[in-house]
A = this chain, B = another copy of it.
Amino acid sequence: MKLWKKNIHLDEKIENYTVGTDYLLDNKLLKYDCLASIAHAKMLHKINILTEDEKNSLIAELETIIRLHEKGEFNIQKSDEDCHTAIENHLTEKLGEAGKKIHTARSRNDQVLTALRLYYLDNLDRIQSQIHQFQKTLKQKSRVFDGIKIPGFTHTRKAMVTSVDVWVTAFRDAMTDNLKFLKYVKKIVSQSPLGTGAGYGIPLKTDRQFTSDLLGFQKPQKNPIYTQNSRGKFEALVLSLLSTIMFDLNKMASDLILFSMPGLDFFKLPDEFTTGSSIMPQKKNPDVMEIMRGNYHKVLSLEMRVKSMMSNLIMGYHRDFQLFKEAVMEAFDVTCDSLNIADHVMGSLSVNQDVCEQHIDDEVCATEKVYRLVEKGIPFRDAYRTIAEEFHRGK
């Protein structure tokens, strides 16, 4: 039975269309919803809505649900719509009155927001650990590859001399900036929505600071209208972070694809990392890097989806917002997988030092030649023109 059920049965086609796969996605949220409900029960007891016994039985049953769900023994049915309903129904069935009281002082709107934000925060922590691990690998590799010269490129043409450790460290520094972004996003997301109801508060004196603290949020999000308005906005921020991380991996993948191309061959992936062709027997293809490159666009499109979907709408909840859930979940999964693989690939990367050295030719050293003249006191632009003419004549 749905939370809002009156005496009318929802048309089945309509139900299938509106619920979609949402009840399945909610398997990722169920734990967080139970944790939030436990905090909420404690608060309801504090403000004398629940008795001590009711509170304790609710907590016990909610913990049971978490365990059952972990073992695959608590299922969310399509007819439940979502995990929130499945849980409330279960509580009412098991506990009677106490179950009917658990929804006091909240709406499904703030309840969903709370579970989502707890899920986001957990996943942001997961991303953070993965970035730390990736940076550790990059640091090791920059030592291993220290001082190995390769040509740096501009305009997809060899430009000047650089070295592999500088290339590796570029991604480590990129991740350092990303960690700062992540820290900001966590700060913003870490505002407790619980108790803002459907965006217009609850006509009852509650203790929002209490649940915020219990759930580990930095603070309650005070304004209930802004709380609803930030649905979509906060998701968009999370997605901006994820697409930023994926952009750095897109760049790394693009470099690796070109720089392991026969003819350049600076880098080498283990044979177990490359795939073949069904028709061309000689091929070793960098598919893993191509999928990583492509996945940037997947995450980017999910960011755009939320940012366009949330627009041109007035205050308050709209059911369109349900669709944000899939977008963020997909993006978290793709980004986590990609960081994992980026770490795996970089950890296994080797450098063809001989090949790299052969590529450090006259052209790549042209700028250094200019600076040898500069050191002799020739103004830069004159030195530049002198060397440019040399090259021009040489051709």
Contacts and interface: CB of A to CB of B under 8 A. Distances in A.
Given A247-B307, A255-B315, A281-B388, A166 B223 contact: yes
A278 B374 contact: no
Contact of A297 (B109, B177, B198, B309): B309
Given A160-B197, A233-B247, A294 B279 contact: no
Nearest to A176: B226
Interface in A141-174: 152-162, 166-167, 169-171, 173-174
A323 B341 contact: no
A180 B7 CA distance: 45
A352 interface: no
Interface in A274-315: 275-288, 290-298, 300-302, 304-305, 307-315
Copies of this chain in its oligomeric complex: 4
Nearest to A171: B226
Indicate the member of A7, A100, A319, A387 with the most B CB atoms within 10 Å: A319
B283 A380 contact: no
Contacts of A392: 6-7
Contact of A277 (B107, B276, B323): B107
A200 B152 contact: yes
A327 B297 CA distance: 11
28 contacts: A3-B278, A4-B281, A6-B392, A8-B271, A11-B273, A17-B340, A18-B287, A18-B288, A155-B290, A156-B286, A160-B197, A166-B225, A169-B225, A173-B222, A184-B184, A203-B371, A204-B374, A233-B248, A236-B244, A250-B311, A254-B314, A255-B315, A281-B385, A281-B391, A294-B322, A301-B304, A311-B312, A312-B313
A305 B261 CA distance: 26
A20 interface: yes
Given A160-B197, A199-B159, A297-B305, A323 B279 contact: no
A366 B282 contact: yes
Interface in A10-35: 10-11, 13-14, 17-18, 20
For this complex, into which size category does the number of interface residues on chain A fall? 35 or more
A381 interface: yes
Contacts of A244: 233, 236-237
B281 A366 contact: yes
A310 B247 contact: yes
Contacts of A290: 155, 318-320
A-B residue pairs, 7 tightest by C-beta:
A4-B276, A294-B320, A301-B305, A281-B388, A100-B379, A290-B319, A297-B309
Contact of A281 (B166, B279, B294, B384): B384
A272 B388 contact: no
Nearest to A54: B379
Interface stretch (A67-75, A117-125, A208-216, A262-270): A262-270
A92 interface: yes
Contacts of A160: 197-201, 280
A282 B198 contact: no
Contacts of A223: 166, 169-170, 173
A52 interface: no
B287 A155 contact: yes
Interface in A374-395: 374-375, 379-382, 384-385, 387-392
